[in-house]
A and B are shown apart, each in its own frame.
Chain A
Amino acid sequence: MSTSRTMALSYLDEVKLLRSPRRDPWRWAALVAAVVLYLWIPTYFGDPGLRIMAMCGIFAIGAIGLNLLTGYTGQISLGHAFFVGVGAYTAAYFGGERGWPLPAYLALATLIGFTVGAVIGPFALRLRGNYLVVVTLGLVFLGEHLWNNWDSVTGGGNGISLSQAPMTLGPLDFKEGIELGGEAYTFEQSFFWLTWALVAVTALLAVNLTRSRPGRAMQAIRDRDLSAEVIGVNLARYKVGAFAWSSAYAALAGSLYGLLQQYVSPGEFSLFLAINYVAMIIIGGLGTIVGSILGAVFVWGGRSVIEQNSSIGLFDRLITNGVGEPGWFTIGEANAILFGLAIVLFLLFEPRGLAALWFRVKTWFLTWPFSY
């Protein structure tokens, strides 16, 4: 590896996400691999697997949002599930009940998420650390109460269906499965493509946000808010802004979640979901966009893999699949224990998450045969 290839010779070079393939071969290789995977996965895997992977993508969008707030701005929130719920119910009401078109209700859900985040954000200005954690946790409980009782919009405890929600985008009908080049695809295949395209767009947005002035302000606040204020960062503006953007991401994830499930009910936006999101960004890597995606895939994908393989090999001996079947744990218990262990082990041994693991592997190859 020669240094001239990595050196930026002008400011324009510096801000480019992708330089020429000759200058930046690794990033190009990763990009090509991602595009190939994106096109190939839906043609190879079956519908149940694609459903899980689409869900991973949905979680990835939400996790990127939470990482903007927690990883980049340093505001810990256990209330992410509330904003996910806001998005899901907005999509369900305007898409499912009112029959708005797909882009309209997705955009509205995102916008309402943004607005609600901006309204709640100012609370965070007065509260810090532990107090903020518990107040955002309270938000989840208040939200659950709202979903359960605002019958005219949320359908109360019964929930609300999205089966009537239109899912067409121009000539593409995602619900019936899209048709491309004379080939008809299933709902799961189409939805995988839709979700991961949105992951790409939202990730790019987030990367650019964090590379620009607001992103630098957010990171200054995270590192030390008092110093940030002293050097002229407007705390109120950027803290509230981070809340609003993170909620917008959560709401988008929520509306996609509703579309995939075709149904939304109050119990889904619980403290457990909120904890899942925090676990995803910790396991993936705080303060990295790619880490949010890795964490979402790891947590949701891992759980699904165990659920599907509970009667194979070692799992079978540990997990009971029914009354009277040998085993110590139910699937739910086994998954929750592994989930908890994963959080603790990552915090103890790789606090910077999967992203750092990836970075370390990359550095090893780049600097070979020298260790750094």
Chain B
Amino acid sequence: MSFVAAITGDDLWQTGFSGVAVGCKYALIALGFSIIFKATGVINFAQASLVLLGSYLTFNFAHTWELNFYLALLMAMAAGALIGVVIEALVLRHMVGEQPATVIMATIGILFVLDNLTTAVWGPDNHNLGDPWGIRTRDVFGVTVADRDLWTIAFTAAVLAGFFAFFRFSTLGLAMRAAALDPEAAMAQGIPARRVYRAAWAIAGLVAALAGATLAAGATQLSPATGSLALIAFPAIILGGLDSPLGAAIGGVIIGLVQQFTALLAPEYFDWVGESFERVSPYLVMIVILLIRPYGLFGTKEVRRA
């Protein structure tokens, strides 16, 4: 069977690893989406521009100002959190309780403003992020592993653990869960809704900057297209269920694997689907899963009363 020989077992392992690595990047983006959704009940399209802005801020601190990269990353994350808080105070605070469509559109408006301000400041050219990982790789059990992928996976695991601890053990996390469940009842119990929303936006901005840095690190380079990568995270958040951080992470990894394996297998076995099918295969998987489970794999089913 000559057509099978083209893809070896090593290829599969390699693709599997890169699928997980790419998936972790999506997961980081998706986690930012999920925390806003958990607190406010809407998909925040502006998350994509926070990711873009975060990566450019990292570049600015690490490359232009020549600071230590990890310090630069921390500063970018802090700046991202600050920008998130400002957006919340300027726009989203005034839209609490509006229809989801309205709030989603507002975040799309913010997306346009922030994205284009970013390209206006830093220009359309590609840049090296200034990260210490570069294109270094190492060999693990015969699979070539890039340093930056290992860092991405570690970051994702850390953020996920942080989210878990936050929602489980901190007062603010508990307040956020309550506010997401029923804003009115939460407020009646004395939960400070404003602080909850502000905190959610701050965390989202922070995670976005981290996601932006991992997206633009190494050979990928930093470009205005970094933000549009964030849109590929949509199937991930939907797949996992919008209100579940764990679901977002698992959804991200699934989407990463689907994408990498489509890229590997489609030209070989089903080339009738057309070129670069990996760009749309996540959406197909998403639609199929949603038809079976309309609230994603781990999402909470909405209880509806008349």
Residues of A in contact with B (beta carbons under 8 Å apart): 70, 74, 76, 123, 126-131, 133-135, 137-138, 141-142, 144-145, 148-150, 226-227, 230, 271, 275, 278-279, 282, 328-330, 332-334, 336-337, 339-344, 347-348, 351
From the candidates A128, A138, A332, name the one contacting B287 in the complex (CB within 8 A). Answer: A138
Q: Is the CB of B120 within 8 A of A227?
A: no
Of A129, A141, A329, which one neighbours B116 at CB under 8 angstroms?
A329
Q: Shortest Cβ distance from B114 into chain A, in angstroms?
A: 8
Q: What string of 1s and 0s marks CB contacts (under 8 Å) between B216-256 and chain A?
A: 00000000000000010011011000100000000000000
How far is B104's CA from A334's CA once the two chains are assembled, in angstroms?
Answer: 22
- Number of residues of chain B lying within 8 A (CB) of chain A: 50
| Secondary structure dominating the interface of B | helix
Give 21 pairs: A residue, B residue, CB < 8 Å, sorted on A: A76-B101, A76-B104, A126-B294, A130-B41, A130-B43, A131-B295, A133-B104, A134-B237, A134-B238, A135-B238, A138-B280, A138-B287, A141-B283, A145-B274, A145-B277, A145-B279, A279-B105, A333-B120, A337-B120, A340-B113, A343-B105
| Chain B residues whose CB sits within 8 angstroms of the CB of A329 once the complex forms | 116, 120
Which A residues are CB-close (under 8 A) to B275? 148-149
**Contact present for B91 and A348 (CB under 8 Å):** yes
Cβ contact within 8 Å between A343 and B109: yes
Q: B7 interface residue, CB < 8 Å from A?
A: no
With A126-B291, A134-B238, A230-B306 as known contacts, state yes or no: A340 contacts B91, CB within 8 Å: no
A275 to B100, CA, bound (A): 15
A144 to B276 Cα, complex, angstroms? 11
Indicate if the CB atoms of B286 and A123 lie closer than 8 Å.
Answer: no
Q: Are B120 and A328 in contact (CB-based, < 8 A)?
A: yes
Contacts of A123 in B (CB 8 A): 287, 291
CA of A274 to CA of B238, assembled, Å: 20
Chain B residues with CB under 8 A of A279: 105, 108-109
Residues of B26-42 at the interface with A, using a CB-CB cut-off of 8 Å, are 37, 41-42
Q: Would you call B100 and A130 a contact (CB within 8 A)?
A: yes
Known: A134-B234, A141-B283, A148-B274. A336 touches B100 (CB 8 A): no
Are B290 and A135 interface neighbours, CB within 8 A?
yes
Contact with A along B157-175 (1 / 0, CB 8 A): 0000000000000000000
A residues within 8 A CB of B94?
A: 348
- A340, B287: Cβ atoms under 8 Å? no
- CB of A283, distance to nearest CB on chain B (Å): 10
For A334, list chain B residues within 8 Å (CB). 116
Contacts of B234 in A (CB 8 A): 134, 137-138
Within 254-306 of B, Cβ neighbours of A (below 8 Å) are at 273-277, 279-280, 283-284, 286-287, 290-291, 294-296, 302, 304, 306
Q: Tell me if B117 is interfacial: C-beta within 8 Å of chain A.
A: yes
Contact A339 B112 (CB under 8 A): yes
Hey, which chain A residues are within 8 Å of B231, CB to CB?
Answer: 271
Residues 71-119 (chain B) with a chain A CB within 8 angstroms: 91, 94-95, 98, 100-102, 104-106, 108-113, 115-117, 119
Distance of A232 from chain B, by nearest CB (Å) = 14
Residue ID in chain A nearest B111 by CB atoms: A340
Residues of chain A contacted by B98 (CB below 8 angstroms) = 351
| A77 closest partner in B (C-beta) | B101
Contact B287 A337 (CB under 8 A): no
Complex CA–CA separation, A337 to B120 (angstroms) = 10
Indicate which residue in A74, A127, A226, A343 contacts B304 across the interface (CB closer than 8 Å): A226
Starting from the known contacts A128-B294, A141-B283, A149-B274, 4 additional A-B residue pairs (CB-CB under 8 Å) come to: A141-B279, A333-B120, A337-B112, A348-B94
Q: Does A141 contact B112, Cβ atoms closer than 8 Å?
A: no
In the complex, what's the smallest C-beta–C-beta distance from A291 to chain B, in angstroms? 15
B43 and A134 contacting across the interface, CB-CB below 8 Å = yes
| B294 interface neighbour in A131, A141, A148, A342, Cβ under 8 Å | A131
Shortest C-beta distance, A184 to chain B (Å), equals: 43
CA distance A150 to B275 in the complex (A): 11
Is the CB–CB distance between B113 and A344 below 8 Å? Answer: yes
* Contact call B104/A138, Cβ cutoff below 8 A: no
